């Protein structure tokens, strides 16, 4: 929803910019007609502003994608944690039986292996979550920078009007 609003604001800004250019182009007899050099500066500034806004939108999309990656990683981590907890509980239950039969020892060894594998998978999921969080943080920083640049470019463009 936030991205839609931002896109709408960007396009509205572009439309307002274009309508002001077309309005001044329709009224060439005004007392203070801008020189061709001034028009070129305005056009360049508007182009820079539009490019900066596009960068910002792409940065916002990247943040959204990284957030989805993080959410997925957190779900996988939670699932792995539950599996590790269940495997450990199964192992502990078998350990309590204190049977010394060959079959009981095999079952306990299998449960111990499953618990170890589940814990390893959980550790990997935690690493993946941490990496996804780091990527999201980076994307958010880039988005903030792109937003700042877009605002500066828009201000520079507006100053030339």
In order of their start, the domains of the chain are 2-25+39-159 (1.10.287)
Percentage of the chain with pLDDT > 70?
A: 80
**pLDDT of the residue at 122:** 95
What would the pLDDT profile of 18-60 be if each residue is shown by its tens digit? 445 455 555 544 447 888 898 898 999 999 999 999 999 999 9
Q: How far apart (Å, rounded) are the C-alpha atoms in residues 77 and 132? A: 12
**pLDDT of the residue at 101:** 83
What would the pLDDT profile of 71-123 be if each residue is shown by its tens digit? 999 999 999 999 999 999 988 888 887 677 888 888 888 989 999 999 999 99
Count of C-beta atoms within a 10 Å radius of residue 129: 21
State the first-to-last Cα distance of the chain, in angstroms, to the nearest integer. 31
**pLDDT of the residue at 11:** 61
Residue 9 pLDDT > 90:
no
**pLDDT of the residue at 17:** 57
**pLDDT of the residue at 147:** 95
Among residues 82, 65, 76, which one has the least CA distance to residue 3? Answer: 65
What would the pLDDT profile of 142-161 be if each residue is shown by its tens digit? 999 999 999 999 999 898 87
Contact 118, 87 (CB under 8 A): yes
Which residue's entry shows tokens 């502003």?
A: 49
């Amino acid at each position: 929803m936030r991205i839609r609003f931002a896109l709408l604001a960007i396009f509205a800004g572009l439309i307002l910019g274009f309508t002001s250019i077309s309005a001044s182009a329709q009224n060439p007899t005004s007392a203070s007609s801008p020189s061709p050099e001034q028009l070129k500066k305005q056009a360049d500034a508007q182009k820079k502003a539009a490019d900066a806004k596009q960068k910002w939108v792409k940065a916002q999309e990247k943040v959204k994608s990284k957030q989805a990656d993080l959410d997925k990683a957190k779900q996988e981590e939670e699932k792995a944690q539950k599996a590790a907890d269940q495997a450990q509980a199964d192992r502990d239950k078998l350990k309590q039986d204190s049977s010394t039969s060959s079959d009981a020892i095999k079952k306990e060894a299998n449960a111990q292996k499953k618990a170890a594998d589940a814990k390893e998978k959980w550790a990997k999921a935690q690493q993946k979550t941490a990496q996804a969080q780091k990527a999201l943080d980076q994307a958010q920083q880039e988005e903030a920078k792109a937003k700042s640049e877009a605002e500066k470019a828009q201000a520079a463009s507006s100053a030339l009007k």
